[in-house]
Chains A and B, each alone.
Chain A
């Protein structure tokens, strides 16, 4: 099963996205701010992190930079969710080390395409098209 860490401060959006992803069969972990997001990435080691950029305490860019500079978490893909769909945000996200970005409001099929590509084909039901034995 693919485990997604969703870092999002807005409760409604967090809940909405969690439920939509859950319905697609993903296991969704939740974090409400950047610090929590970093901690959970380290402790839970999700398959992918969906990172909102405007977060309290440590913002998304900073969190991504920290995760990507840590050898232990560098391998975990980070997708930036740009609240604002602004180009500057997007470029800064890529600069900070995010692997890709998606704009909000989230176009779910587009987002899932990105997730699938970055996790090497992991799907919501946890099955891989080409099992590698890395995760069951």
Chain B
């Protein structure tokens, strides 16, 4: 049973076996048919030959018997029969007279038991032959013995019409020889057929094998390609259909390699990825993970497969199509791992949803760094706040006693000390001046520290520069008189508007004019306002020129840096910290403008403040308009004492 199954199986899988079997079957049937026809014809021929031979023997005997029968010579008749019976093929001989009585009979006793009855249905006085069987196949020949014609003793031609029948001869001729010959032919034929078949089978097998071997090779090659190895090519060493098939296959593999990424390649990519990759089915159960996922979460791969992917997320959901949301994975040991998660639907070739792909980037390190940065930033901000609070407190705490110092010395000077005490009066003035100086320094330092801390903001509006100059002039007129200077103001109507922070512009102009007056004695300080236009826009320019001591080329560069009065002796002579210009320049820059200077030692200096003429005239956008700092803005509005 098993063997049959096996054979069946082998038969159904082997083209060679099947083809061979079919060939053998067809050949065998054809050969057998051929043999049968051949043998049949041969048999008939042998039979006919035997028949002819028997008939001629019977005819000969019948002619010889003519006389003996005519005269009724029993002895002669018997002798003639015995002479014929000497032939070993003759089984029996019988002669009956026309009345049907046996005249004489002879049989070979070792092979024939008696003489068989005549073949049924045979016409006795007509020559004929029929095949009979009595223990042994034999041919029965019937031959009438005719009376001789008138003038001839012997007549070979039967002429029953005018001759009388003397008797009927029946002769049995053995077919044994003939059968032997037939058997020999049969055996020989079968032998020849078998030999031919074997030869044919061998040739067929060899031929098929030759045909099929490249196919088997092609099958092996196809298996390799099927396994994903696209490097192999089938050998093309024939021009026939199989060769063409191999070539077509190679072409297909080549195209496959061009258009498809092989499985190995994808595996390599997944293995090399620094991110965790999870592929789920439509129900969200994990179907595949890459090594990084295993490493990150501490699970064995087998533990992860089939598990709901959402169970890995410590909190929050994972919407199907997201890019870069922050989630927390829970590792096997309970560790929480912050990840940047992107999720996308996995679509099959037909576009149907097959599952999801999760890509997660470990953010632990990033988070740690971020937290450290945040801590550092918090600390810095706290330190900065502390500094601001300290500065605000300091300014208040310093100013309050200064107010008292200045106030009391003024009081003493005004009310208590008479003009008869000029020394004390001038001492009190010194105290007062020193107090103002100190106050100025404190205010400058506070301003500068606020600018540097980025807490100073600009509140821009349309400003009437003429009014600013009026304020400045009235505040500085006493100083001008004191220095013996002439203060000239020229503010034409067309140039008087600017888009600036009023207090900052006022403080900057005040500072420049104050400086000009301080560094000029018995000279002229002129303030001129102009409207200028350049590639960047339209500007309102306030030029402050003096005929004072001027500034050397080597000092111009440092002029706007904090704490850089041109030389330290000047600090003593002219009082001030040198912060005023730095502050003013910063203010103007914050308003979108700038301060520039030209100077020649001994002949005077010219400072120019430039601010936008209108809202959209200068910089494209105003830093102050954004309004990052909506808190109260402290701005110094000082008298002449600053720098």
Contacts and interface: CB of A to CB of B under 8 A. Distances in A.
Q: Do A and B bind each other?
A: yes
A23 B403 contact: no
B415 A104 contact: no
The size bracket of the interface on A is 20 to 34
A92 B400 CA distance: 21
Q: Which of B402, B403, B410, B638 has the most CB of A within 10 A?
A: B403
Given A10-B404, A104-B399, A88 B411 contact: no
Nearest to A107: B639
B328 to A, nearest CB: 46
Interface stretch (B140-148, B260-268, B628-636): B628-636
B540 to A, nearest CB: 21
Interface in B587-643: 632-639
Interface string A86-119: 1111101000000000011111100000000000
Interface string B401-420: 11110111011001100000
B449 interface: no
A12 interface: yes
B637 A13 contact: no
A13 B635 contact: no
B396 interface: yes
Interface stretch (A14-22, A36-44, A68-76): A14-22
Nearest to A85: B637
A33 interface: no
A92 B632 contact: yes
A85 B443 contact: yes
A20 B410 contact: yes
B638 A16 contact: no
Interface string B428-439: 000000011001
A108 B637 CA distance: 17
Contact of A87 (B400, B411, B635): B635
B426 to A, nearest CB: 19
Given A23-B415, A83-B399, A105 B407 contact: yes
Interface string A1-17: 00000000010110011
Interface string B60-93: 0000000000000000000000000000000000
B395 interface: yes
A54 B415 contact: no
B503 interface: yes
Nearest to A81: B403
B404 A84 contact: no
A105 B414 contact: no
Given A86-B635, A103-B637, A108 B403 contact: no
A54 B632 CA distance: 14
Contacts of A12: 400-401, 404, 408
B395 A84 contact: yes
A105 B637 contact: no
Given A16-B404, A23-B415, A84-B399, A108 B634 contact: no
Contacts of B396: 54, 83-84
Contacts of B399: 83-84, 104
Contacts of B402: 105
A-B residue pairs, 4 tightest by C-beta: A87-B635, A12-B404, A105-B406, A16-B407
25 contacts: A10-B400, A10-B404, A12-B408, A13-B403, A13-B404, A16-B404, A17-B407, A20-B407, A20-B415, A23-B411, A54-B396, A83-B396, A83-B399, A85-B637, A87-B635, A87-B636, A88-B632, A88-B634, A89-B634, A92-B632, A105-B407, A105-B436, A105-B439, A106-B407, A108-B410
Given A83-B400, A92-B632, 15 more contacts: A10-B403, A13-B407, A16-B404, A20-B411, A23-B411, A23-B414, A54-B396, A83-B403, A85-B638, A86-B637, A87-B633, A88-B634, A88-B635, A90-B637, A105-B435
